[in-house]
Amino acid sequence: MSEHTAEAAPSYSPKRWFALAVTLLAVLMDMVDSTVINVALPSLREQLHASSTQLEWSVAGYTLAFASGMITGGRLGDRFGRRRIFMAGLLAFTITSALAGLANGPEMLIATRVLQGASASLMVPQVLAMVQVEFPKLEQPKAMAMYGMTFALGGLGGPLLGGVLLDADLFGQDWRPIFYVNVPIGIAGLLGAALLTRESRSERAPSADLPGTLIVTAGLVALLYPLVEGRTLGWPWWTIALMLACPLVTFLFYRYEQSMVRRGETPLIDPELFKFRGAVGGLLVAVIFFGGTAYTLVLTVHLQTGIGYSPLHTALSMIPFTVGVGAGSGFAPQLMVLGRRLVMAGSLVMAAGMAVVLATLDRYGTALHSWQLIPGLVISGVGMAMVAGTLVNIVLAKVPRKHSGPASSLVNTTIQVGVAAGVALIGTVYFGQLDQHRTPVHSAETAMWVVVGLYVLSAAAAFVLPGGRVEATEDVAAGVPAGAAEQAPASRP
C-alpha cells in the first residue's frame, strides 16, 4: 500500500488491472443504481404511497447530488488521497443503499437517494485520476476504453437487473432488493480496494471550494425545486420567485469564483472558461440536449401503468436505444471533425427518433407491442451517439489546453444538471397531465412533445458553438466521452 504522488517518478503496480476491475465495479454500481429505479417507480408509488413529485425527487435527487459534488469529490481525492476518498465514498454508498432498501416512506427514500448520489460523487471521480496515475501512457487508452464500456454495461444492465429483481420478488420484498444488491457488491469492492489499490494524491491539489459548491447547489435547487413542487402546490408566488432568483445566485457564484482567483486560490469553476465560445455553447447545448433524456422516465412509467407491461418487459423494451447508441458509436467518431454540424444533425436525428416514438404511441395506444418501439428508439440512440462525444470534443478543442481538465469536468457536471432539470420539467408535464385525469396515452404523448421540442431547441442552440473543423483532442481519444453517450440517457435517468 505504498503512497506516491502524481508528480513522482512512476512506479506501476503489477496488480493495477485487478485494481482497475475493483474501481470499475464501483462505477458500475453507480450506473446501475441510477437507472434501476426507473422500472421500480410504479411499485414505489403503490407501496410507499409516493406522490408523483416524490417519485421525481427519488430520481432527480440522486442526479442533483451527484452533479453538485463531482468536482469537489475529485479535488478531495487529489488533496487527501484518491484511494482514501474512493473507499469512503464506496462505504457511504453501500450504507445508503441498505438504508434506501429499508425506506418506510417516500421521505426516507428521497433522503437516502440524495445521500447515494453524494456518495457516488466521492468515489466515481477518483477512477479516471487513478487510471492516469497507475497506468503507463501506452496502457491508458485500453483502461479508458474499459471505463467507457462500464458505462455501456451499466446503462443496459441497470434496467434489466431492476426488471429481473422486481419480477422475481425475492423473499416477498418487491422493490427493496434493487438497493440491497449493492450491499454485498460494496463489501466486496471495499475488500478489493483495500488489498489491490494504492494511495495517490497531488502535491499541488487545489482546495475543495466548499462555499462555491454550496452556492452553486443552492442555485440548482432554486431552479429544480419549483419545477418539481410548483404543480402540486398550485404555483404560489414564491415558486416563481425562486426560479427568478436562480440567475441571481448564478451571478453571485460567478463573482465569488472571481474573488477566489484574485486571492490566488483555485475556484471550483474557473471564470476564465466563460470567455470561450466553445465552453459557453457546449454548456448550453448540454443542458438542453441531455434534459431530453428524461423521456426514459415517461416511457418506463407509461409502459407499466398505462399499458400493463411487467418491469422486466419494460426494461427489455428499452434495449433498442442502447443498440442505436452502439451502432452510432461505430461511425460518429470519424465524423467529429464536422464539429457543430454533427451536433446539429445528431440533435435533429434524436428529435426524429422521439417523434417516431410519439407517433407510435399515438397510433397503437394501449395495444402497443414492444417491437413497435424499435425504430424510434434505435434512431434516437444513433442521434445520442452523434452528439455526446462530439459535444465534449468541441469544448475541449476550443479552449486553451491549460483549461482542458476543468472544462471536461464542467461539461460532465453540466450533463448531469441537464438530466436532473429534464426530470423536473418533463416529469412535471407528464404527471401533471395524469393529475388532470387525462388518459395515460395522452399524458405520455404530451410529455414526448416536450422531449421532441427540447431536441429541436438543442439543434438551434448548436449555432452558438464555434464553427469550423474540430480535431479530436487527446482527452477524447483517451475515452473521456465514451461514457457520456451511455451515461446521460440511461443513468440520469
The domain boundary, picked from 174, 197, 220, lies at 197
Query: Are 125 and 222 found together in one domain?
Result: no
Q: What digits encode the pLDDT tens for the residues 302-330?
A: 999 999 999 999 999 999 998 998 898 88
Q: How many domains does the chain have?
A: 3
- Positive or negative, the CA dihedral 342, 393, 491, 144 is positive
Examine the pLDDT at 176 and tell me if it is beyond 90. yes
Residue 227 lies in a domain: yes
Note down the domain range covering 357: 272-493
The domain boundary, picked from 237, 267, 297, lies at 267
Q: Cell numbers 429505479 correspond to what residue?
A: 37
Examine the pLDDT at 171 and tell me if it is beyond 90. no
Cα distance between residue 422 and residue 292, in whole Å? 6
Q: How confident is the model over 176-203, as a mean pLDDT?
A: 91
Q: Cell numbers 446501475 correspond to what residue?
A: 32
Cα distance between residue 214 and residue 202, in whole Å? 24
Residue 28 lies in a domain: yes
Span between the terminal Cα atoms of the chain, in Å: 37
| 283 close to 462: Cβ distance less than 8 angstroms | no
Q: Which of 112-116, 180-184, 478-482 has the lowest mean pLDDT?
A: 478-482
Q: Give the domain CATH number at 451.
A: 1.20.1250.20
Query: Are 279 and 173 found together in one domain?
Result: no
Give me the amino acid identity at 291.
G
Residue 122 lies in a domain: yes
Cα distance between residue 70 and residue 119, in whole Å? 10
Q: What digits encode the pLDDT tens for the residues 369-397?
A: 999 999 999 999 999 999 987 887 787 77
Which residues on adjacent β-strands are paired with residue 4?
200
Query: Are 353 and 221 found together in one domain?
Result: no
Query: Are 96 and 157 found together in one domain?
Result: yes
Rg of the chain in Å (alpha carbons): 21
Query: Are 289 and 245 found together in one domain?
Result: no
Q: How confident is the model over 118-126, as a mean pLDDT?
A: 92
Query: Are 155 and 242 found together in one domain?
Result: no
Which residues on adjacent β-strands are paired with residue 199?
3
The domain boundary, picked from 267, 288, 316, lies at 267
Q: What digits encode the pLDDT tens for the residues 345-364?
A: 999 999 999 999 999 999 99
Q: Which residue has the higher pLDDT, 270 or 343?
A: 343
Read off the pLDDT band of 472 (50, 70, 90). Answer: low
C-alpha cell at 142: 485500453
Give 3-state DSSP helix, strand, coil % of the chain, rounded to 5: 80, 0, 15
Query: Are 24 and 55 found together in one domain?
Result: yes
Residue 96 lies in a domain: yes
Query: Are 307 and 345 found together in one domain?
Result: yes
Query: Are 172 and 219 found together in one domain?
Result: no
Q: Which residues 6+ apart lie within 8 Å of 405 measured at CB?
A: none
Q: Which of 78-92, 167-181, 260-274 has the lowest mean pLDDT?
A: 260-274
What phi, psi does 4 have (nearest 5°)?
-145, 170
Read off the pLDDT band of 491 (50, 70, 90). Answer: very low
Examine the pLDDT at 218 and tell me if it is beyond 80. yes
Query: What is the CB neighbour count within 10 angstroms for residue 167?
Result: 14
Query: What is the model's pTM?
Result: 0.86
Examine the pLDDT at 12 and tell me if it is beyond 90. no
Query: Are 259 and 380 found together in one domain?
Result: no
| 388 close to 485: Cβ distance less than 8 angstroms | yes
Residue 471, pLDDT score? 60
Query: Are 33 and 118 found together in one domain?
Result: yes
Q: Cell numbers 398505462 correspond to what residue?
A: 306
Residue 245 lies in a domain: yes
Residue 205 lies in a domain: no
Residue 202 lies in a domain: no
C-alpha cell at 401: 489546453
C-alpha cell at 118: 453524494
Q: Which of 55, 2, 30 is nearest to 430 (CA)?
A: 55
Residue 203 lies in a domain: no
Query: Are 300 and 187 found together in one domain?
Result: no
